[in-house]
Chain A
Amino acid sequence: MKLTYEPVIGLEIHGELLTNSKMFCSCSADYGSAPEPNTNICPTCTGLPGAMPVVNKKATELAALVGLALNCSINKHNTFARKNYYYPDLPKGYQISQYELPIAEKGLLEVNDGSDNQLNVRVRRVHIEEDTAKLAHEKNYALVDFNRAGVPLLEIVSEPDIRTVEAALDYATKVRTILRYLGVNSGDMEKGVLRFEANISVRPVGSDEFRTRTEIKNLNSFRALVRASQYEIERQIKIYEEGGTVVQETLGWDDVRGVTTSQRSKEEAHDYRYFPEPDLPPLQLSDSWIAEIKSRLPELPEAKTSRFISDFGLTLSEARFLTSERTLANYFESVVSKSKSPAKTIHSWIAGEFMRYLNDSGLSIDDVTLAPETLAKLIDMVTDKTIGASAGKTVLTELFKNGGDPAQIVKEKNLLQMTDVNAIQEIVMKILNDNPKEVDDYNAGKETLFQWFMGQVARATKGKADPNVTKELMVKGLEERKK
């Protein structure tokens, strides 16, 4: 009988922390807006002889905030360490990181395994370190830009508790959402502010052994995470099925060819020679300091989702969508509080026309200038049938483009809904009279034509006719012409 295999996955997530200054010096951490290379630099972040690091307080606070959000315990006594290796992007010849005592450890995150089962993934540790410089490889040489050197990084390491690629994706997505909620990382994968590393092994289902794992480095999108993991799982299964053994190694992901490639074998693996950083005394965090950081924790996505379900009667997927971004959730709640319409309706507008407009225009929720009260006003006009749904869409587009007041736009564009039954009746009759062939076809059984008739009314009234009234009259009119 053929064995079935399951993957054992652990994820490392590296995220830059949104601080003004670098981790160990006062240079600006905003390397993205630096006018040119090597402008945000000083003796410390370029590793000049004698320069010393000083811990960025803000980064410590943000790291603790993440630790608390991931249900970790905070180490009141935590230490920095030197991770030694040579590379031109590492000016000191060592990276200052945390090793034995990270700022936070032993956390927990609930994720979905892809089959609607929830599972707990343990977070092994959250630690602070510094980013490297950026290399630009030319033909016979490479250029080094130290603007990024020393930017605060957070590393979040999970235990190997993940058993499906879907769960890995959900874990990564949830961590990204939490980082964005906390305002500690923009989550902008394209800019490289968040990177994943997957540790993967496979074993026969039912076994509890941990087999040799490989480590895939530098996965810089969710898509890469999923594809690389799937590829690597299949590669390892194939090796076992052919009677081979998996070699412990560090792999890269070739996104173009869709394959993992060997970078370093176990024998070639770096010995980082970690030891406590003698230039930095241990960080001593008091209970009151931790309590103060804890008080800054916002409502996190999971809690918000539950609340949206119970307070607003939304489904799980509706609530998940709205809470995927803190700003989106806040926007939704703000509209709800200003509107007389049901929350469900507001969700439909936001998930529908509102998002469609943003996606089509390449905008994000953070770019939206449309005031929640304005959107609330518009939705209420549809709800109380002052205007029709399609007119509402027209007004929304106008609001996005030029701003203004919904009532004013409705007036200017003459979009008030036709609710006069006689007027609508007149139009319905005209359409039925003008299209005898379609009426015959409909009555002969081609029922799909009904929408076509409705469309003709919408066209004739520029979408202003009350759709319920129209529908009623149309059904009646067609019925009358049935012989």
Chain B
Amino acid sequence: MSARLPVYLDYAASTPLDARVARRMNAVLTDADAFGNASSAHAYGARARELVEAARAQVAAAVGCEPAEVIFCSCATEADNLAILGVAEYYRERGRHVVTSRTEHKAVLDACRELGRRGWQVSFVTPSSGGYVEPAAVVAALRADTVLATFMHVNNETGVVNDIAGIAAVCRERGVPLHVDAAQSVGKLPLDLAASGAALASLAGHKAYGPKGVGALVLRRSAGLQLAPQSYGGGQERGLRSGTLATHQIVGMGEAFALAARECEADRVRIAALAARLSERLLALGGVLRNGDAARAVPHILNLSFEGMEGESLLAAIVDRVALSTGSACTSAKAEPSYVLRALGRSASLAESSLRFSLGRFTTEAEVDTAAAAVAEAVLRLRAVSGYPWVAAGQAETVGAAGP
């Protein structure tokens, strides 16, 4: 970590490229025989194709599916859109209803809202206060004309893990395919799509120490689904995602996923210890609330709301020392509190004064200590200014001492 940059605790937003992945990508970029178009029939194309197919096998092995089920694209957002719009459009004569939850990533929510604009109906399941979707709630939302259910595996804000197998089971009983946004899953916990019962899954390279600009949609053959393509051109990826394949990006994703599968458990154990250290120090401040059910969350993501301060001030007080994400979209106008935390029942004020700490493979104990100290200092300073703790539910009285 550079001395002039803040501690990076925003791994859920993006992970650094693993040096081993970078070396593998560089080898492809500098391989004079590997620049060809993987769709070409000649030897250069064959070499590129060979690399792409090897990466496809790596990705498939990491997530528990067949290589032929992996459709490469540019990112998880594109995969989400292809899955949701693709299924909905293909089966438009069968029904025009999809089911999702209020705490999905924007890539899913906005794709569903686009369907709404096109005449589909969308049901939004409200998760439990712990942040996970109950299969029973999904059952209640499914209808005879439902053509797709889409739920994320690991929530990007809270780290809470949905019971995908349970949700898939109730969907399967009613003949509804399940799409899973698994962008945050790879490398965080074992992923076996074949066992999960999901029909489709979206994956991202850069959330697992791979490069940005590459992702994949897994379309399980056993689901027997068809998709309407969302882009047209050369017919790559079985006609579902036209566009020349980016060989070096795909190779990078394959290498990253192979490493993630191999090192998942070791990473998890080490990061869990670091997250516990961070959590313990911050919860000791008092007036700090954990968002999401810790017992059902991956250890990499710790989302906390801090009482007694406004969200923009909290972020401003630490931004030079810790790089992380907050529960509000800070603009110069009105901050918009996190819709995920609001769906979990947090007040707008507490949603805004929340911080998402996301740790990763390269996080060190010293970085955790630096971050904990910076946040603690900011919290105590801002509480001194706001007069927290407030005596009543309002803010009529304070216990603050006279200032300097």
A, B: real partners: no
| Interface residue ranges, B against A (CB under 8 Å) | none
